Amino acid sequence: MGTALLYDEEMTKYKLLWVDPACKIEVPERLIVSYEALVRSGLSDRCISIPAREASDSEILLVHSELYLEAVKKTPYMTLEDLKEFTLQFGDVYFHPNIYHCAKLASGSALQLVDSVMTGKVRNGIALVRPPGHHSMHGAANGFCVFNNVAIAARYAKQKYGVKRVLIVDWDIHHGQGVQYCFEDDPSVLYFSWHRYEHQNFWPNLRESDYDSVGKESGAGFNINVPWNNVGMENSDYLSVFCHVLLPVAYEFCPDLVLVCAGFDSAIGDPEGEMCATPDIFAHLTHLLMNLAGGKLCAVLEGGYNLTSLAQSVCQTVQTLLGDPLPQLANLRGPCKSAIESLQCARSAHRRYWSFLKHAADPPMTDISTKHVKSAMEEEEKTEMAEEERCTEGKVWPEPPERLCPPVCSASVLPDDVACPDGLKRLSSSKDLEPLLVSKLKNRFRTAAVDGDGVTTFSRLYTLIEKLVVNEIRNGLVLVPDVAAAMMCVVQDLTSDLVKRVLVVCVGKEKELDYITTDGKVLVVQISSEDSEEQRSKYYIPVCLKKGCSDTSGFIQAVLGLLLPLGYEYNPDLVLLVRMPGSGVVDSMWQQLIGLLQGFAKGHTLVLMQVNEKACMGSTASALLGHPAPPLQDLQTPFPEDGDALERLRERLQADWKMLQTTS
Ligand SMILES: COCC(O)(O)CCCCCNCCCN
Ligand SMILES: [Zn+2]
């Protein structure tokens, strides 16, 4: 299934007609450069073009008042003076004779996107629209927004398709207060927003944008605010909040649909955000949401004012929606102190509502919400002093790396008598192994693991690895007689200097892992029911689940809160996923794991499985081919001792692994 792209140049046909410093950044070129970048890169041709349409009155009235709609209806016939007059009643927004038409097209585009995804015409998609939406409210325009496109889309999806739970992720750098007001008492819509806040000193300067606005009445817990109290936030800060705040809650919420308020003013170079996250971060933010709701994801453009980083960020997002390999994110240094404070506050504010946050720590001593709103003078001094080191428009960043699709997506190495799963390419070619290696293999295993066809298997395995690291193949599945032996070989004989770091994810218990090198060339994360205190080192991290890998709640909590942050910080060139026989891991969890691991090493994942587990080859192949993993249904509360152990493990490891920090 494909990716929808909605764009109509009619939405470029309105602009600011008078002088207003607050609104001058919201220009038609925002849409033009975004679409042109998609065309130039060939991405638009790979999408399914869906026409825009005007939202109807009844659709707009899902969110807005009749009074407000009737008032906006009059704007096409207003003189310039009347438009200025009309605009004065709202904040940081402007009207234009054609903006009502464009606002209906923007909302209608979001609804077209929902229709395309909910009817299965496409898997996911993006709508490039203006005016944006997330600030507009029941009876008011605000912050360049006229109708709340995403809020209307959420209500529309529930009404027309009976969607039970909608997740709205708002990665725009401003707080979408309009969305928050719309759903704050509604437990069927979970709204997550991060936003520049600076202790209420940043627009829209609302007390209710802080982390302690968790929702109201039956909506308590379904509104998550992560305030950024400093500028200059980087990729590490964004990923930490996804791993330690959003994703645990999103998986527990188990949405039927994901809507993204895709504002790109949170990218480097943007005059509004003044952040330092690079455009390729949006490839990963999108990827991390794509295994929710069976992949049903609708992204709707909100902000983004640096035309260069906006266009790059849009392309990064669309490329991920299309299923292309992800770029490697280099040198993630872990979240800054301010980001840790913010995520710690958000986690502690929500621990009473979400069992996946149950063991979150208390808020930091320096409770950031009570910091008095700095005096204007103090604020002024800070601004002047900090100006030069801030990420202003003058900031430069590298063009995102090309994300090339290997000629072969998924290959398999199987015994001759095992049929190759659909979509996988069986690897039968294999160069002869050096005699030295053969003898090493033979004398390492007295077992028959390396008999005649055993050597063939290993030679094919090594061939496959070589093809992965040169990007001829994206990922692969290997069935071997003895998976522990094979893992040892792969780990110890990886001579290719193209592979500097291998992330080994071992699912299920395996005794002898003591051969792990400590030079950092290999990082082993083992998830099993075994507790092995003694062996732990920086590069060997055993996670113990009391009930073993069949406990999906404990498993996904360990993946999101430990494996993902570790993987991002370690930044491997190859991921080896080893499924120990009898691990008991649930199929949907297994597919979620494979899906999430695709975020590392440009998707170069090698899955090692035992021949006698060939029954789960089909689902493994499906996940390797990029099909969305099935949702993890009705997750139970993770075992307290497991949740507690995970927090303790993170505390112990965070000195070595900065991305595990959740407390300041
Ligand atoms: C949903 O619209 C997208 C958006 O969130 O980016 C709108 C931001 C309005 C920012 C208003 N203050 C501008 C002050 C100028 N320095
Ligand atoms: Zn914004």
For residue 203, the CA-to-ligand 2 centroid distance in Å is 10
Please give the distance, rounded to the nearest whole angstrom, from the Cα atom of residue 24 to the centre of ligand 2.
Answer: 14
- 393 CA distance to ligand 2 middle (Å): 16
What value does the mean pLDDT take over residues 363-385? 61
Among 148, 152, 203, 309, say which to mutate for ligand 1: greatest number of ligand atoms within 8 Å of CB: 203
- The CATH H-level superfamily of 2-16+23-394 is Histone deacetylase domain (3.40.800.20)
Q: Ligand 1: does its nearest atom lie under 6 Å from the Cβ of 26?
A: no
Closest ligand 1 atom number to CA of residue 272? 16
pLDDT over 70, % of the chain: 92
Q: What's the CATH class of domain 408-657?
A: alpha beta
Please name the residues in contact with 651: beta carbons below 8 A apart, sequence gap of 6 or more: 663
- Does the beta carbon of 270 lie inside 6 Å of ligand 1? no
Which residue has its alpha carbon closest to ligand 1 atom 7? Answer: 143
Residue 607's pLDDT is what? Answer: 98
Quick one: average pLDDT of 149-173?
Answer: 98
Q: For residue 236, report the distance from its CA to the centre of ligand 1, in Å.
A: 24
Q: Kindly identify the ligand whose nearest atom is closest to the C-alpha of 173.
A: 2
User: Which atom of ligand 1 is nearest the CA belonging to 21?
Assistant: 15
Q: Is there a shared CATH topology between the 2-16+23-394 domain and the 408-657 domain?
A: yes
The domain segmentation of the chain, as residue ranges, is 2-16+23-394, 408-657
pLDDT at residue number 459: 84
* SS3 at position 540: strand
Instruction: Give the three-state DSSP class for 367.
Output: coil
Residue range 313-332: average pLDDT? 96
Q: Which residue has the higher pLDDT, 264 or 384?
A: 264
* 130 CB near ligand 1 (under 6 Å): no
C-beta neighbour count of 615 within 10 angstroms: 9
Closest C-alpha residue for ligand 1 atom 14? 22
**pLDDT for 662 beyond 80:** yes
Q: Is the CB of 143 under 6 A from ligand 1?
A: yes
Contacts of 543 (CB under 8 A, 6+ apart): 525, 526, 527, 528, 558, 562, 563, 646, 649
Q: Is the pLDDT of residue 530 over 90?
A: no
Q: What is the mean pLDDT of residues 537-555?
A: 94
166 pLDDT above the threshold of 90? yes
Question: What's the number of CA atoms in the CB half-sphere (13 Å) around residue 174?
Answer: 27
What integer is the mean pLDDT of 413-439? 84
Which residue among 16, 20, 93, 145 has the greatest number of ligand 1 atoms within 8 angstroms of its CB, and so is best to mutate?
145
Alpha carbons 560 and 272: distance in angstroms, whole number: 30
The ligand whose atoms approach the alpha carbon of 271 most closely is: 1
Summary mean pLDDT of the chain: 92
pLDDT tens digits along 184-211: 999 999 999 999 999 999 999 999 999 9
Distance 209 CA to ligand 1 centre (A): 15
* Ligand nearest the Cα atom of residue 302: 1
Q: Which residues are catalytic?
A: 135
To test the pocket of ligand 1, the residue of 16, 92, 201 to mutate (highest count of ligand atoms within 8 Å of its CB) is 92
Report whether pLDDT(61) > 90: yes
State yes or no: pLDDT of 256 exceeds 50: yes
Q: Judge residue 91's burial from the number of C-beta atoms within 10 Å of its C-beta, 0-12 exposed, 13-18 middle, 19 or more buried.
A: middle
Indicate if ligand 1 lies below 6 Å from the C-beta of 132: yes
Show the 3-state SS of 376-438: HHHHHHHHHHHHHHCCCCCCCCCCCCCCCCCCEEEEEECCCCCCCCCCCEECCCCCCCCHHHH
- For residue 72, the CA-to-ligand 2 centroid distance in Å is 22
| Ligand 1 close to Cβ of residue 172 (< 6 A) | yes
Sign of torsion over alpha carbons 120, 264, 239, 207: negative
Q: Indicate the residue type of 9.
A: E
Q: What is the structure's pLDDT at 633?
A: 87
- Binning pLDDT at 50, 70 and 90, where does residue 391 land? very low
Q: How far apart are CA 101 and CA 445, in angstroms?
A: 73
Q: Per-residue pLDDT tens for 26-41?
A: 999 999 999 999 999 9
CA distance linking residue 391 with residue 69, whole number of Å: 39
Q: How confident is the model at residue 101 (pLDDT cuts 50, 70, 90)?
A: very high
Q: What is the pTM of this model?
A: 0.95
pLDDT at 457: 83
Weakest-pLDDT range from 162-176, 320-334, 533-547, 631-645 = 533-547
- Say whether pLDDT at 449 is over 70: no
Q: What is the DSSP string of 569-594?
A: HH--SEEEEEE-TT----HHHHHHHH
Q: Is the CB–ligand 1 distance for residue 144 below 6 Å?
A: yes
Range of lowest pLDDT (73-77, 127-131, 486-490): 486-490
pLDDT band at 448, cuts 50/70/90?
A: very low
